[in-house]
């Protein structure tokens, strides 16, 4: 799939922001006053900003409100609902905390749950697609949750919890990559099943339907060199997990923590780029790709 910068930014930043808001929601003693304000602001900028960026890839952003109508069948529509609900509930919780110094725990828990639900609905948009076997697996939502929870914990200053969760995310990510490499083959979809000509013999794409490119190729057929993919995987793991762990386990300093967070975010961005760039859409088979 084409790794569109707007979708990579959206899933990464909104995941981090929602993760941060989750931890603020379940915190038995959530920060109040100006400190609270700063934390919630970061959470909202990340989560809300990510959602705003995601509308950039729409062909008709002015009609975005229509996306709320089909929650019964569509994960994208459900995502719109959970995201709004999470931001509204958390907003109320934050306002009471910041301006009145009152913590309504029930509200916090409800908001936290909605944050996780939002990350879940986002991940289901990809997981539901049978056409992209690499994504079509239960481990995809698990991976998204671990990323959000780990990054959020780090952002909220929970060093140990954050490191444990990020370690788990790194393990899950490595497993997801290894499993993902097999999934297209395991799906049983081949150029033979795509053309129905397999009973005659081996099928090879002889001539494409057009000499130029088209929407399908630009959007869904993106081939990363395997050699580069392996390197990028290592870079992603190093940045998102190894480097933050080293930095945070050193004698603790605030600026080190900031570098750790930045490294983590950069690592997640790389892994998200791979998430899209490496994903094989079965339509590529009609074009003899992969």
Partner 1 sequence: MTCLPEQTTRSLGLVIDLDTCVGCHACVISCKGWNTENYGAPLSDQDPYGADPSGTFLNRVHSYEVQPDNAPAQLVHFPKSCLHCQDAPCVTVCPTGASYKRTEDGIVLVNESDCIGCGLCAWACPYGARELDLAEGVMKKCTLCVDRIYNENLPEEDRTPACVRTCPAGARHFGDLSDPDSDVSRLVAERGGMDLMPEQGTRPVNKYLPPRPRDSWQGEVDVLAPFLEPVAEEPRGLLAWIDKTLEKL
Residues lying near partner 1 in the complex (CB under 8 A) are found at 1, 57-61, 63-64, 66-70, 72-77, 80, 125, 128-132, 187-189, 191, 193-197, 199-210, 212-216, 219-220, 281-283, 286-287
Kindly state the tokens that stand for 289: 């790709």
Comparing CB distances to partner 1, the nearer of 215 and 255 is 215
* 3-state SS, residue 28: coil
- Least separation in angstroms between residue 67's CB and partner 1 is 4
Comparing CB distances to partner 1, the nearer of 107 and 285 is 285
- Least separation in angstroms between residue 69's CB and partner 1 is 5
* 3-state SS, residue 290: coil
- Least separation in angstroms between residue 78's CB and partner 1 is 9
In angstroms, the CA 171 to CA 107 distance is 33
Q: Mind giving me the DSSP string for 83-138?
A: HHHHHHHHHHHHHHHHHH----HHHHHHHHHHHHHHHHHHHHHHHT-TTSTTT-ST
Comparing CB distances to partner 1, the nearer of 181 and 219 is 219
Comparing CB distances to partner 1, the nearer of 28 and 188 is 188
- Least separation in angstroms between residue 209's CB and partner 1 is 4
Whose structure tokens read 């397999």? 198
- Least separation in angstroms between residue 148's CB and partner 1 is 21
Secondary structure, 3-state, 218-235: HHHCCCCCHHHHHHHHHH
Comparing CB distances to partner 1, the nearer of 110 and 274 is 274
- Count other Cβ atoms within 10 Å, centred on residue 90: 26
Q: What is the DSSP letter of 156?
A: T
- Longest Cα–Cα distance of the chain, Å, equals 75
């Amino acid at each position: 799939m084409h790794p569109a910068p707007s979708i990579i930014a959206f899933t990464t930043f909104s995941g981090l922001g929602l993760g941060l808001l989750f931890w603020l929601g379940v915190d038995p003693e959530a920060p109040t006053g100006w400190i609270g304000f700063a934390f919630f602001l970061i959470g909202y900028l990340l989560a809300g900003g990510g959602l705003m960026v995601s509308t950039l890839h729409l062909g008709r952003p002015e009609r975005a409100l229509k996306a709320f109508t089909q929650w019964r069948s569509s994960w994208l529509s459900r995502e719109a609902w959970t995201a709004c609900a999470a931001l509204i509930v958390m907003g109320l919780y934050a306002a009471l905390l910041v301006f009145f110094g009152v913590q309504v725990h029930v509200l916090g828990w409800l908001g936290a749950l909605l944050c996780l639900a939002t990350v879940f609905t986002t991940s289901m948009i990809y997981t539901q697609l049978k056409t992209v076997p690499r994504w079509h697996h239960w481990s995809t939502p698990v991976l998204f949750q671990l990323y959000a929870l780990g990054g959020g914990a780090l952002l909220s200053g929970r060093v140990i919890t954050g490191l444990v969760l990020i370690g788990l995310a790194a393990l899950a990510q490595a497993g997801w990559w290894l499993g993902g490499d097999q999934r297209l083959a395991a799906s049983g979809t081949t150029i033979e099943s795509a053309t129905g000509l397999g009973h005659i013999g081996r099928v090879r794409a002889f001539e494409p339907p057009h000499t130029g490119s088209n929407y399908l190729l630009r959007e869904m057929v993106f081939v990363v060199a395997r050699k580069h993919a392996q390197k990028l995987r290592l870079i992603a793991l190093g940045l998102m997990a190894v480097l933050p762990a080293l930095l945070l386990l050193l004698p603790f300093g605030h600026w080190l923590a900031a570098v750790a967070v930045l490294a983590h975010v950069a690592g997640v961005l790389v892994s998200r780029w791979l998430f899209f760039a490496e994903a094989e859409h079965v339509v590529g088979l009609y074009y003899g790709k992969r």
